[in-house]
Each structure stands twice: as structure tokens, then as C-alpha cells.
Structure 1
Amino acid sequence: MAEVSRQFVSEIKRILRNEQIIDDITRRRAFATDASFYQLIPQLVLKLDFIAQVRDVVRLCHEYDVAVTFRAAGTSLSGQAISDSVLIILSDKWRDYEVIDDGEFIRLQPGVIGAHANHYLKDYQRKIGPDPASINTCKIGGIVANNASGMCCGVSQNTYYTVSAMTMVLADGSIVDTGNPESVRDFKSKNAGLLNELWALSDDVKSDSELSELIRHKYRLKNTTGYALNALIDFDDPIDILMHLMVGSEGTLGFIADVTYRTVVEHSNKASGLFLFESPEVACQLVEKLSREPVDAVELLDQRALNSVKGKPGLPDAFCDNPDASTALLIETRASCATKLAANVESLSNLIAEFSPIQEIPLANDHARNEKLWAIRKATFPAVGAVRKTGTSVIIEDVAFPIDKLGQGIKSLHQLLDKYGYSEAIIFGHALAGNLHFVFTQSFETDEEVQRYDEFMQAVANLVAVDLKGSLKAEHGTGRNMAPFVELEWGEKAFQVMQRLKRIIDPKNILNPGVILNEDPDAHIRDLKVLPAANEIVDKCIECGFCEPVCPSKDLTLTPRQRISLWRRIQQLTAQQSLTEAEETELKTLKEAYQYQGVDTCAATGMCAQKCPVGINTGDLVREIRAENASKSSKLLAKVAADNFAQVTKVTGLGLSASKVASKFLGEEKTDKLGVKIHNTTGKTAPLWYKEWPTKAHKVKPVQSNGSDGLKPLVYFPSCSSRTMGPESKSDDQRSQFEVAQSLLQKAGYQLIVPENLDNLCCGMPFSSKGLADFANDKSEELQSALKVISQGGEIPILFDTSPCRMQIEKSETELPVFELFEFIDKFVLSELSITPVEEPIALHITCSSRKMGLAETLRRVAKTCSTEVIEPHDIECCGFAGDKGMFYPELNESALKTLAKQLPDNCTQGFSNSRTCEIGLSHYSKIQYQSLLYLLDKVSEARPQ
């Protein structure tokens, strides 16, 4: 590692803003890992906003001989997204897209998440070709740079074959947009030498028939080992050659600033089935036949893979615990219409029957059942991670065999895994492409363990590349992991071609050195990541990064993956018996920084657990840390609040009344300025006050059922937020949420019952979020006791008007019949109403608690009943208000909602949700008024005529 010079850093500081330069050890360590089992600490992390900055930084790196690595989502599995020099990451300004020619093409910047690209194409019944398993997290930059594929992509629909145009930044800062003729002409005139050398290299390869045939053979398979040498024989124009060489180059040839894809059809008619065969040979013989049939995906699972997910919904026990040789195929066929799909199903079912499956779930167009089947397949990788020993890494290798050798490859891999003691290993993969993944756990804590891994990988490399003429990396990229084996797979002549093209395009070797090409034969066993025990809550984390897109603090401080990684380092240093001076300094720095970055700005809403392959809720760790850090005085204050909750809500109401008066006299602009001043001058101990703060709600009085009017009783529990916080002062409807609920539910034939001693009741959420579990449990039990009485032991349904409260009670596993308000409305109320939807767009925010309870579709259905156009802003899964976080750490709320306003069209003037506190921040940062969806439903509905 060459140290980055002070002069280089000085030049960087001249062209970038301070907030774009990350040089503190805390955040540098946060970016030291990707999803692989390697770790490198960058000396400098630069968060760049646009292509001109990339050009200027790369030029400086070229001038000062500084190595630079580009990182998108960091889901790379082979160590290609980390650096011990300069790491360039993308700000949120790299997420633009353009749908072209009715979805036939789409132009995407590298910061767009793959699944979001497909979301933009959904209305056109199109999608991008690549479909990696990490598509909900990985970004276009990484998809292109790794030539990622996936379960249904095969070879023909990967980036290499579906790229139409690309904008690139080369090692000297040169830029070319291949879709812009003027840009191409300019680039050709200024870079004639480079293009001539590429053309000459292409000509040399084409004239070598033996080498050309080797290249053709290698790319009949899935193959991401080394550079895309097929570009040298597939194209004549050096610009086309350069663009296609960039695909799969893993940032070693240039930066990809945007890419235009030719999209592919997304058929809605699909049928799936799961079939178990007695051996891999039988299963793979069927795969050969299926490769010539109308089949879109064939996923292979060995018996150990099936055993690892035993009990998973949709998987009969008969598929598990069979002889080890048993092998399953998950098969899917798609068609443009139901008639064609039925024909496909019939012909395929007849073919499959010829191979005598020993267990089967037949092919069928059953969406709910098929979702479970694909969930079984996707659960296999995390199943290994969930049972691994603490301190070990989960390694997923990625090879491809010619289809006629696939059965032999599976058998031989099983033999190697058993020989080297990886008894927990499972094999699954994309059988149509001959692509297998094998997953195993590995410790790197001792030299003996490292040696075992090395010997195993040497054996795998010889089996795959030499004996069976396959690919050592089919879709995960070469990275550091397979760099020492590229020559083994390709041979000396092809390897020299790769070295030559690297010298042509990156003569100083500054772009991601050590990745793809590496002269160190031990590169794959250097810089290995250690995963020390830190806390049982997070010890199963494999640092894949799947959690990151849904985290509200991802662009402010840390992501869940980074919180865990830093906490591991803190615990590792804390546990060491002796520390060097540098380690002592690092530990002190990390602890101080972690309080704000790791603890204070974590929303702790648990959205990360929804995306985590092993279900880790990083918020649970943060709450535990908060509990440990809680002072005696804060615990005493919490006890006083819990014991005198009615007084707390009363004081809150008085504050809101005062806020309304002050806002009325000050005006909106002065209110916001004064609120910021008070918040800052009190050291942020006073909540941030701004014009969207609610008025004091009308008091909710206890109501008992009198059995009159034939109305059905409902227990209604208004949360502390909705019974203290009314509408905004400028709202046209000044009724409290309870009054609106009364109006609506009465139309549907219900009478609301409210508990006695209401003001002192609380679900416990305010205490739980601060890690004060005892107080939270006490308040929850108190509330449930009151609800049990008023609901006559659970005979009467109980409604919670705010989703976080409903979720908090759900955690206690109560036996009471509790509903979130809109859950009940969707099931029982809508059918009793006559609704005339408004013909204007409305914005809908689905709270994280609603998502976690599986109520997202419920909210959407209710909203679509109320309006002809519902806009759900994309990429905002948690608003970051998080109870009272938005009051005391408003920067979290602001960061989470920074894209909200620009996603709303000018004619959208109303927003709706189902959490009063969330609605405060949503109103402030969207510049439109958000309130409970209840208000709109009441407005557009009438009692259905009897």
C-alpha cells in the first residue's frame, strides 16, 4: 500500500467540498468491507456528485500515481469494492433514469438500484436483462461492472448482450458517451493512439483461430473470470470494443457514468414447479433437454440445500432428509398469454415425467404457491449463514460447467467439500446456464484454517478450469478471490492478451489494482476479514449490505451493516488484553463517534430486519446500547413519566397550544427560524419546532357502549400522539383523529368504546425506542389489562389508530383481538360504505411499522379506494421521524425524506399516512399537508343505503 501524499490530498480538498471527503478512521472503517470475506481500510473516501468530479479526481489519481477504486452498493462477493488507497462512492445525485421508446430502452445512472430500474419499466411490461439475487440492493454501476446475471438472465440477457450505449471515464480522465456521435468524434480525435492499439489487439486475436475458438467456447457459458475477451472478436469498431470491455471489468478499466440497456419482455403469465430426482445425473440429463424447451428458469438444489430450509412454508417434508444424492429442480416457464402458458405446461410436464421424479409439486400458474417455491430457493444461502459458528465467514463460490458435464461437476464438488471438511456446505444454482453456487462456512482465525481454505480452492480451481473446462466465476466477478487463478483458467496466451489490454487502457495501473489481474499467487488469502463476536443480536451478520437501501440514516451517518462492522471492531479492541498506542487512539475515537453515528441517529425501526437474509434487527442492538448507556437520572425521569403519563401528555398538549399561539403571531418564516435557534442554543435538548407542528387535539373522553341504535361495539385506543396532536393549524378539517374515526365508523354501523383512565395509558413504544424495556413492558401490560376489561375479555375487537402502537402490542404476543385501524377498515368497513373517490392525485406514505406488519398492500387498497391516482414516492421506506427522533435529530428525518418533494407532481396537494408523528416530518419536507388517511376516507364516503 502506497501512502497517499499530502500534496494529492491538498489538491483533492481544492476541488471538493469538505463533506465529500471522508478521512476520519470511523467512517473509513465503515467502508472497509463489502459483502466478501476481505477487508481493506481506505486512506480516503470521496463521495462524488457528478461526472466532472469523477473526471477531476481520476485525473489527479493519474497524475500522482494514486490507486482508486469505485464502489456502488458494496454487495460484491469477491472483494472488488474495497481499497487501501482511495475509494470513490456515489452520492444520491447518481440516481437519474430515462425510459426511452416506450420502454424498449432505459438509460440509467450507476446509483440506481436494479429493482428500481425494473419498477420504472413495470408499466411497459419490460425489465432489464440482468436479475441478480441482490437486485433489491445492488446498483446499476455494480451490475454492469461485474456483468452480473441471475436466475432467469442466462447468458443472452446479461449486460454484455443488452448494453446499447455507455458513458465512461478512463484512467486519464477522458470521457466518452458512446450514444452521442459528437462525443465519440471528439474522443476518437483525442485518443486515437489508445483506439488504434485496441484495434490492433483485436486484429491479433481474430487472426489467431485457436485463441478465437477458446474465447467463443468460454462465453457459451456464464463467465466473468478475467476480462471480456469476446469484445475483441465480436466487434470491429474500437468504441464498441471499449464499451463491451468495460462490462465485467470491475472498475479496473474505467468508471461507468451511465448505461443504456435494451430491455427485455416481462411476461405476467408464469408457471412454476418443484421436482426431486434420485441423483444429480438424472436431474442434469433433464436440464439438457429443458435447455431446448420454452423454459425461463431452472434452479438446481442439492439435498443438503433442501434440508437447510426444512419447514419453510410451501416445502413438503417429503422433499427433505432423503439420500444425499437426491437433487431438485425448480422450473419456471413464462408466456405472453394464458393459452400459450398452458401449452408450455403440458409439454414440459410430459417431458419431466419421463425422468421419474421421486417427489413433485407440479407446474402451475398459482402466484401465491409459486412465490413460496421461489422463497424456498432464495432462503438457501441465508440458511447457512443463520447456523454458522460465530467468527466464521459465509463463503459463496460461483462456478459454471458445460451442461453436459454439470452432473459430473456436482458429484465432484460434493467429493471435494467432504474431503476438506465442509460438511455444512450446500449446492444450488442456475442449471440452464450450468452455473452452480456452493456455500460453506470458513474461519480465518488460524493459519491452519487459512491453509485448509487455500488447498480447497486450489483443488476447486483445477477441477473446474482444467478438468471440466468450466468457469471459475460465472457471475460474481473475478475480484481478489479468483485473480490468482485467471491464467490457470484461460491459459498463458489469453492471459497475456488481458495484461496487454489493461496496459493499453490503464497504463499506470491505478484503477482497482490487484482485482482481476494479480501477480501474487496468494492474493486470495490476504486481507481476510475477521468477524469477532460482538453481540448475539448481530453475530450472524454476514455484511452483505442487503439492509442498506431501507435505512433512513444511510446518507447521513451509518447503515446497519456499518453499525455492525464498527461495533465488531469496538468489541474486538475492547477485548484485547493489550493495545498499541494507535489502537488505543482508534478505540477512543470509535467509541466517541459511535454515540452519534451509530446510536443517536439510528431510527431503530427495524426495517433492516425485513431485508436481512438472517433477519437481524440492528435496532435491537442499538436499543440495548441505549439501555446500557442510560444514566440513573434518565431512568428516574422515565419512571416518573411512566407513573404520571397523564401529566406528561397534558404538558405536551400545553406545549402544542403555546406553539400554535406563537406561530400565529410570528408567521411561518419566523417560526421556523426561531425553532432552529432554540433547538441549537439548547444543545439540541429542546425539540425542533417548525410551522407544521400540530395543534393540540380535542380531548378524547372515555366512551362506554350503551347498546343503543343497533350499532356494533368497537374498542378504540387512540395513541398518545393522536390524542395530544391535532391537525396542522392551517388544515381545513380541525377535527381530532378520534372525531374523524367516530364519524367514519358510525357510517359503517359501529360505535366506538374508549377505556377509562385513557390519558395514563400507553403502549410502551416511547420507552422501548430508548432501550427502557422494563418501563415499556409495564406500560404495555397496564394497557392490555385495561383493554381486556373493556373488550369483555376479547369479545369486542380492539382498534389501534396508529401503526407503531399496534406493532408494539403485537410484540407482547397478546391474545386480545387487536387490529391496526386500516387493517380493520379494509376487512370489515369498506364494504359497508358508498365511496366516491376524489379525481386528483394524493401522496401515500406507508410507515415502517405497517410494512413490518404486512399491511403495505392494505394501505394501498384503502388509498386507491379514496383516489383515482395514488402516488407512492419511491425509495422512502422509513421517514426517519421514528417516534421523537425527528424532534431531537431532525437531520435524520431530513436525510430520509430528501427526495420526497421532487417526486410529487405540482398538482399533488395532499398526503396521507397512518402515524401522526410521521406526518409532521412528511408535511415539513414535502411542502404539502400530510394527515391520516382516515380524513380522506371519511370525506369521500357515505353510509351504504340499506
Structure 2
Amino acid sequence: MTPLTPTVWNDLKTALAETIPVERLIDDPLRTLAYGTDASFYRLIPKLVVRPESEEELQAVLAECRVRGIPVTFRAAGTSLSGQAVTDSVLIQLWQGWRGHEILDEGRAIRLQTGVIGARANTLLAPYQRKIGPDPASINSCMIGGIAANNASGMCCGTAQNSYRTVRDIRVILADGTLLDTADPASREAFCRSHAGLVEGLERLSAETLANEALAEKIRHKYRLKNTTGYALNSLVDFTDGIEILKHLMIGSEGTLGFISTITYDTVVDEPEKAAALAFFPDMATTCRATIALKQAPVSAVELMDRAALRSVQDKPGMPETLRTLPGGAAALLIDVRGNDDAELEARMQVVQETLEGIQTLEPVAFTREASTYELYWKIRKGLFPAVGAVRETGTTVIIEDVAFPIERLDAGVLALTEAFRRHGYQEAILFGHALEGNLHFVFPQGFEKPGEVERYQGLMDEVAQLVGVEYGGSLKAEHGTGRNMAPYVELEWGADAYALMWEIKALFDPENLLNPEVILSRNPTLHLENLKPMPAANEIIDKCIECGFCEDICPSRDLTLTPRQRIVVTRELARLEGLGSQRSAEDDVRLESMRQGYRYAGDETCAGDGLCSTQCPVGINTGDLTRELRNDRVANKAGVVRYIGRHFSGATRTARGALMVVGAANRVLGDGVMGKVSQGARRLSGDRLPEWTPALPKATPIRLLKSSTLHDGRRDKVVYLPSCATRIFGASRDDAETRSVMEITLAVLDKAGFEVIIPEMVGHLCCGMAFNSKGQFEEAAHKAREVNRELLVASQNGRYPVLIDTSPCVHHLKSRLDERLQVSEPVAFAHDHLLPRLEIAALDERVAVHVTCSSVHMGVGDKMVALARACAREVVVPAEISCCGFAGDKGFNTPELNASALEGLAEQVADCSAGYSNSRTCEIGLGQHGGIPYRSILSLLDRASRPVSA
């Protein structure tokens, strides 16, 4: 093998640049670290991250790496927990080109490229009442490539509906670059000719395995359980055709045998009626006996939680009071039952009740079909892993292990595991899992910095491996993949014959050992103790992050620069390097400065600060808070200027409206084409300090209407209306048929609904403070919020009248900053709750789009927005995979590429819509530009579809 010198890496990058744009060949210190981190507790930093966008590009990468003897690792979402998606060589990262999908056979199958997120596949299948079989807890974040490559299962799918059992076909690229499409007879035939040695070798291994009765029976026994330890040896006893063996070996192979570019799943029925019960038992032995009894019952899932697990979540908001009063040895089962209709569901619940008769429970078992309670029960279960992460000591990581016992030995296995934890000093470990399959997860915090900690961890893992894999005949990895973490124990679990068989399989597929080496199979007995991830203290806001990656799919900068997880990873590394002080090497200094410079744009300027990451984060981390804090540190010297703007805010908004009028006049003279070129040139000359002009830039708002808008009618209910500074500046879009400003629309619909409108005094001076807060100017933001609070109390007579603010983000920002007497609503909630009952609605014969803003998500009004739109229009489209629009106040002008990246694909989804509707004027500017249709206030739609209630 050629020594991997800097020259080799430079040559590789130069060669790849002939077929792949250089911006998708990444080797700077910041991004290789960020993109190379997964959810495991291992860290390897790739030399090069490559983002191929097609099969042809990926084949080119494999070819260039193969000729130089350079290993490669494939990476999807990186939610993997066992170290299978990290490398210090070439990381091939799935990116935007791998999100294709096709529904087949009226939903009975679905063809998916491997960059599709699992939950997105189920959304596509929902109209057919179908879903994919695998249902891992990370399904909202993990990608199909990872689900298939790890044979991930989850809560309900068991062993009958995992990827191995439900794969219909795959397109796979092997180490030598050959593409096989198992759905295409011509491809299969050509492959059998070109790779006769591989196909015949697999068929030979199958025949030899079937002839070895002891080995064949052992394999069948192992796959009665959930099992992802090693390769899918069941393919050798389930099939004799070489292509079918190959197809099923690829499932769970963790990128060590080839790259799955597309997978076709046979889908399963998604039973619409659901119920759940949280059953409490006096001790673990009773809980396990109940589990064994339920194995034959018509249940969808049975999730076990020990007392320590329940204790870890009992103080969280919304948790049942019962959790706090359980005795020390108690345990619980979350029992989920589903059916196609009410009768079937009721019958199945009755069977469960009968099954549990005679088994002692701490309180009667009661099923709930109420959606909020059902979701609460599952929130308890899904919150267990991160709950440990949230309370761990700063500087430690959190370990989650994943074993399976034969169900008939579950109670004894649980007791043996618990004793092993105690013996090695892991009293804080919690135990939970998919009990029906004997599949248990145990989670505990683990530090590796203090003396003796690595040895303590090794001692525990050695004992667990012997206990589970040998004494109980179970699986050391039930569903999380072998990875690096369990690779040293594969032979112990499987025995010498099966282990040798796995090495033969690896040699048939990848004789040069270039595909993800050291994953699944390794000759290194201490591999699982090497390259451990540092978790230094960096900032209290993020120190509890477990780097799971659940936040990534909802981040507007995910395809542009960094995700929240990646911002945290880089922030931690900066803290680590800075903490070295005088011990830093010259290389460390160069790396530190490079990362600081890169983070200014990738971490700060392109962070929208929307906080949606906190809604997905298992421990509620808002990475936007980190960004704002860093901005605050940087802008402290500008406090005087900011204070002046805040104290003269009406003048600032007048100036902004004046600038809009001047720009509008220039645009009318120059036209869009010339105006765009002039704007881009000026922006370049200013070093990107000037905002970018966009054709979607609205007209200025006529603000005089506020002075004559108040109606005095003692018979009408009163409402205080505070127009935001955005709606006081930005009027209607230039070419929109809706020519009124948001303020005009709001006043019109309030009048139509019979309200008397009260405008606060000095309205032109008021601002919620969000614009200052987002830039880290916390003091002035607080001052402006206090001003609003004072004026709203006066206008509403200390909360006597409701308050409407016409922009959702302003309301979200003010919610925790206003006097509790004030009843403040944004447009959606106010329209849904107060205006709809006062109006007669005649739904428009239109197909409209709705954008649920990030503030609407935070405030829980997204469903109301969709319901309001559906009341007013024939058809409502909520574009998939569009979360925060990335306009983020003024970033749509100052960092326009963030807005463009966040709204990639919007135009195609709303192409047949007459217009789009939302509740934030600035968001609507960017949505209109990138959606290709006008976006307006949701109140415009309501106004158009309504009339006053007839007397």
C-alpha cells in the first residue's frame, strides 16, 4: 500500500476535482471535524470529506481511492452509536443528491435513495395507510442508508419487519465500483457474468453452512433474537441464490461490503387506531413475567423501564405523579396496542387485560386512546436515553449499550446485568428496552479522563460480553450495529467457525479491506478503548449535549454550513484547544486560528437562531442561545450606537421606509436585471456589509392609516392592535394582487369581525426587542421589551382587553417578558380563536400554501394555522422538509444564501398554489422570492374568504 503522505492526499483531491466540484471536497480543520462526528463516543477526524451527488461521482471516488489504497467510510445522518460512521481517512457523506423517492404498487412498496430521512418515508406513505417496517427511535433524524446499513429496528418492528425482512431490492455499488441493481434482470445477469467469483463464492458459503448442521442451527437461534452483531449470516441459511444472499448481506453490513444507493422496501400496514397503557409492577421479576406472557398477545410494542429509568424523568414537566411515588424496586411496561378499526382495537385491549390477569400490578392497568396522554407515555420512554445525558457530570459522555436475551431468560438476564453494573460501580445505570424481543438498552454516564476509568469500562464490557453472548446465548448488539464498539467481541459471541465465515465474506466483497476497515471485524482486541471522544466543558448552554444529531434535519443551515450538533462539536474543540494554553503545539495554534476564522461565518453568520433545534433536542438545547451569547461578547463595544437606535426607533423605521421608497424608485428606472447587478456589485465592494437587493423586496408601508384607524363604538368588543416594526416598514409585495399592507388587512378584518381597535400611544417607537436580542444586544432588547410592556398595559387597561401583534416571532419573543395580566396573541391564534366565530366563511376555490414559522412551532399554533387555512381554501399545502425559512430578521438581506439554502425545493412543492400564507412579514419576503408565488399574511386569506355575520 502506498504510504498516505500529504502528497497522496493532495493528488487525490486534485484527481477528484476533475469530476466533483471543489466545494464538495472538504479538508479544512473546522468542517472535517464537524462533518466527521457521529453520535458515538469515538472521534476520528477525516482527512477528506467528499460529497458525491450521483452514483457516477461516487464510483469515481471509489476508483481514485482504490488506486491509492485509501480507505473510505460512508456516512448518512450520523446518528449511529457504535462508531461505525467515523474515520481518519476519506468520509463519503450523503448530501443533497440522495433524496429521491418513488411510491410503488399503490404504497405497498417504496423506492428510496439512502439520503431520505426515515420519517419522510413514512410521511410519503401516510396517504396509503402504510409505513416502512423499521421504526428506530431516531427515525425523525436518521436516513434510510443508515437504517439499512445497520439493520436498525426500533419500538414496534421486532424481527419480522426490519430491513432484512422487508427489503425487496437494492442498488449497490461494490468496492471495485461495479453497480448492481437487483430489480433489473439485465443488471443481475451482467453481474453474475462479471462477478462470477463473488456470486459462486456466496453460494458455496451457503452450501457449506447448511451442511454444517450445528452452525446452521446456531445461526437460526441467533436470529430468533434481534441481532446486529457481525454480518447477517442468516442470509446463508435463508437463501441459496447468490444475488439474494448478497442483497441480504448488505443489510446490516455498516458500509463494509459496499454502498447501498437505493433500497426498495415492501411496506407494512400502519394501523390508524392506537392505545397505550403504562403498567407498573412491584419488581423486575414480575415485570419480566408479564413481558413473557404478553409475547403471545396482540400488542404492537412492550417497552420495559426499570425504577432508575423512571426516576430519571419523573421530575420533568407533564410526567404523571405516579412516577414519584413508586417503590424502589418497581418497574413499568409501556404496552402499545393498535388496530385497523375501533372494534379490532377494543378486542386486542381486552386480550391484553386477560393476559395480565393474575400478575400483580401496583395499580389497575388502564389503556388510553387520548392523543395527548398516549404521546406522554411515549415521551417518557423516548426521553430515557437523553435524561441520563442531561444530568451527567460535565466532561463525561453517555454510553448506551444494546443487548438481547432469549425472551424465556429475560428475568434472569436482567438481574445478572444489574448485578454486573453494581459490581463495577455503575449504580447510576438505567435499564429499558424493547422487552418483547428481550432487547434491553442500558445507559450510564462515563468519563475517560480520570485514571482507572478506561479500565473500569473495559471490565464491565468484558463481563457483559461473556454474560450475554456466551452464558445466555444472546446478542451483544441487538439493533445499534456492531461498529467499533463491539468489534473485539464478535468472535466471543459467535464462535470461531462463524467468525471465520464472516472474514471470508469480507474478503469476497472487499479483498483490499478499503471499505470502512476496523468496523464489524477487527483483529485489534482494544479497538473499543481507542480514539475516545473528548467532551470538554465549553459553555453551560451546550455542555449537556450528547451529540446525537436529532437537531440536524430541522436546521435551516444544514445544507449550507453547520448544524446545531456541528456548532457544538466545533465549540467544544475550540474550548479544548484554548484550554491547552502554553501546552499547545505550533500545529494546534494553526488549527485553532483556522477554526476561529471559519466559525465566524459557518457557526455564527449562518445561524438563524430560530431555536427549532431545541424542539428536536432530547435535552432541550437551543444552540441559537449559544450563538446570541457569542454575539453579545463580540458586540459589547457597540452598545452606545445600539442604545441610540433604540432610543430613536421611530426615526430608524422612518429611515428604513424612506430607503425602501428610494430603492423602489431606482428599481422602476433600472429594471430588475440592472438593479440586481448594481446591488451585487455594491455588496461585493462593501465586503458583503451592504444588504442584497431582491426582486421580492416589498413597497414601503403607508403608516398614516394608524392615526385615523381607531373607532369608538361602545357596543363593540375592544382589542389592542400593535403592528410590529416589520409590518410598519414592509408593505405589500410589488407585483402581488394583494396590494394592502399587513396593517391595512389587519384593521379591515378586525372591523369586519366587529372589534373596536385600540392603537397604543407612540406606536412608531415600539419594538419587541427581538431585532436587538438576535444580534446579542441583550440590554437594549430588554429595554425595548419593557417599553412595549408598559404601553400595552396602558392600552389594554391592565389586561382588560386582548392584544393582537401581527407578527408571530415578536409574540414568541415577548411571551416571557410581558406582564402576566396581558393576553397577547399572534395572527393565527387570534384569528382561529377570536375571528372565525365572528365571521361567515366561504372557502375559496384555491390551492394555497402555508408556511408554519419557527415561532409558531415554539408556541404550538402550527395546527391552528393549517386548520385556519383549510377553513378558508379548498386545498392546503404544507411543504415537506421546509422548516425555518432562514430569513431570520435581516439575514435574508445580509446572508441571502442561508434563506436560499433553507428553502431549496420550495418552488416545486408550491408550483400549483395561487399564493402562500404565513404570519411573519420578513419570512414572507424570502418565501415569495424562493417559492415563486406571493406570500402574504394569513389574515389576508381570512379576509378574502369571510364576510360579517348576518344580522
TM-score range, shorter chain: over 0.9
> What are the residue-to-residue correspondences of 1:729-878 with 2, within 5 Å?
729-812=734-817, 814-815=819-820, 816-878=822-884
Corresponding residue to 1:393 among 385, 389, 397: 397
Distance across 1 between alignment mates of 2:352 and 2:318: 22
Structure-2 residue corresponding to 1:103: 107
Contact 1:401 1:468 in 2 (8 A): yes
Structure-1 residue corresponding to 2:537: 533
Deviations 1:216-275 (CA, angstroms, capped at 9, x unpaired): 000000000000000011111111100100000000000000000000000111111011
1:40 lines up with 2:44 in the alignment: yes
1:162 lines up with 2:166 in the alignment: yes
Deviations 1:4-53 (CA, angstroms, capped at 9, x unpaired): 54433332222211111001111111123200000001000001101111
Structure-1 residue corresponding to 2:134: 130
Structure-2 residue corresponding to 1:495: 499
Corresponding residue to 1:628 among 630, 633, 636: 633
Structure-2 residue corresponding to 1:265: 269
Structure-2 residue corresponding to 1:943: 948
> What are the residue-to-residue correspondences of 1:442-461 with 2, within 5 Å?
442-461=446-465
| Aligned residues: CA RMSD | 1.4
1:882 lines up with 2:888 in the alignment: yes
Deviation of 1:2 after TM superposition, in Å, equals 4.6
- Unaligned runs of 5+ residues in structure 1 are none
The count of aligned residue pairs is: 944
Deviation of 1:674 after TM superposition, in Å, equals 2.4
Q: Which amino acid aligns with 1:793?
A: N
Distance across 2 between alignment mates of 1:945 and 1:818: 28
> What are the residue-to-residue correspondences of 1:307-386 with 2, within 5 Å?
307-312=311-316, 315-386=319-390
1:144 lines up with 2:158 in the alignment: no
SS of residue in 2 equivalent to 1:93 = helix
Distance across 2 between alignment mates of 1:345 and 1:5: 61
Q: Which amino acid aligns with 1:275?
A: A
Q: Which amino acid aligns with 1:780?
A: A
Distance across 2 between alignment mates of 1:314 and 1:283: 24
SS of residue in 2 equivalent to 1:29 = helix
Distance across 1 between alignment mates of 2:21 and 2:734: 39
Distance across 2 between alignment mates of 1:788 and 1:831: 26
1:567 lines up with 2:571 in the alignment: yes
SS of residue in 2 equivalent to 1:710 = coil
Structure-2 residue corresponding to 1:615: 620
Relative to structure 1, the CA distance from residue 890 to residue 5 in structure 2 (aligned partners, 3 Å threshold; closer, same or farther) is: closer
Structure-2 residue corresponding to 1:675: 679
Distance across 1 between alignment mates of 2:211 and 2:685: 75
Distance across 2 between alignment mates of 1:194 and 1:812: 67
Contact 1:319 1:359 in 2 (8 A): no
Deviations 1:712-755 (CA, angstroms, capped at 9, x unpaired): 11001100000111001212222221111111122222121111
Contact 2:713 2:756 in 1 (8 A): no
Comparing 73-82 with 746-755, greater Cα deviation is found at 746-755
Distance across 2 between alignment mates of 1:314 and 1:209: 54
Comparing 666-675 with 738-747, greater Cα deviation is found at 666-675
Structure-1 residue corresponding to 2:422: 418
1:698 lines up with 2:678 in the alignment: no
Corresponding residue to 1:599 among 604, 614, 630: 604
Deviation of 1:315 after TM superposition, in Å, equals 3.9
Structure-2 residue corresponding to 1:61: 65
Q: Which amino acid aligns with 1:900?
A: L
Contact 1:303 1:320 in 2 (8 A): no
Distance across 1 between alignment mates of 2:437 and 2:859: 38
Deviation of 1:84 after TM superposition, in Å, equals 0.4
Distance across 1 between alignment mates of 2:711 and 2:13: 76
Contact 1:822 1:858 in 2 (8 A): yes
Distance across 1 between alignment mates of 2:50 and 2:322: 53
Deviations 1:45-73 (CA, angstroms, capped at 9, x unpaired): 00110111111111222222110000000
SS of residue in 2 equivalent to 1:292 = coil
Contact 2:36 2:91 in 1 (8 A): no
Q: Which amino acid aligns with 1:522?
A: T
Distance across 2 between alignment mates of 1:890 and 1:360: 58
Deviations 1:873-893 (CA, angstroms, capped at 9, x unpaired): 111110000001111010111
Q: Which amino acid aligns with 1:756?
A: E
TM-score, scaled to structure 2: 0.98
Distance across 2 between alignment mates of 1:725 and 1:791: 26
Comparing 220-229 with 664-673, greater Cα deviation is found at 664-673
Contact 1:741 1:934 in 2 (8 A): yes
Q: Which amino acid aligns with 1:863?
A: A
Contact 2:720 2:801 in 1 (8 A): yes
Distance across 2 between alignment mates of 1:568 and 1:315: 32
Q: Which amino acid aligns with 1:164?
A: R
Distance across 2 between alignment mates of 1:641 and 1:7: 54
Contact 1:838 1:866 in 2 (8 A): yes
1:640 lines up with 2:666 in the alignment: no
Corresponding residue to 1:474 among 478, 484, 495: 478
Q: Which amino acid aligns with 1:562?
A: Q
Structure-2 residue corresponding to 1:727: 732
TM-score, scaled to structure 1: 0.98
Distance across 2 between alignment mates of 1:935 and 1:507: 65
Comparing 294-303 with 348-357, greater Cα deviation is found at 348-357
Comparing 313-322 with 565-574, greater Cα deviation is found at 313-322
Deviation of 1:345 after TM superposition, in Å, equals 1.3
Relative to structure 1, the CA distance from residue 813 to residue 2 in structure 2 (aligned partners, 3 Å threshold; closer, same or farther) is: farther
Corresponding residue to 1:927 among 921, 929, 932: 932
Distance across 1 between alignment mates of 2:854 and 2:788: 23
SS of residue in 2 equivalent to 1:14 = coil
Distance across 2 between alignment mates of 1:312 and 1:614: 11
Distance across 2 between alignment mates of 1:783 and 1:337: 52
1:76 lines up with 2:77 in the alignment: no
SS of residue in 1 equivalent to 2:720 = strand
> What are the residue-to-residue correspondences of 1:505-516 with 2, within 5 Å?
505-516=509-520
Identity fraction in percent: 47
SS of residue in 2 equivalent to 1:728 = coil
Contact 1:36 1:76 in 2 (8 A): yes
Structure-2 residue corresponding to 1:653: 657
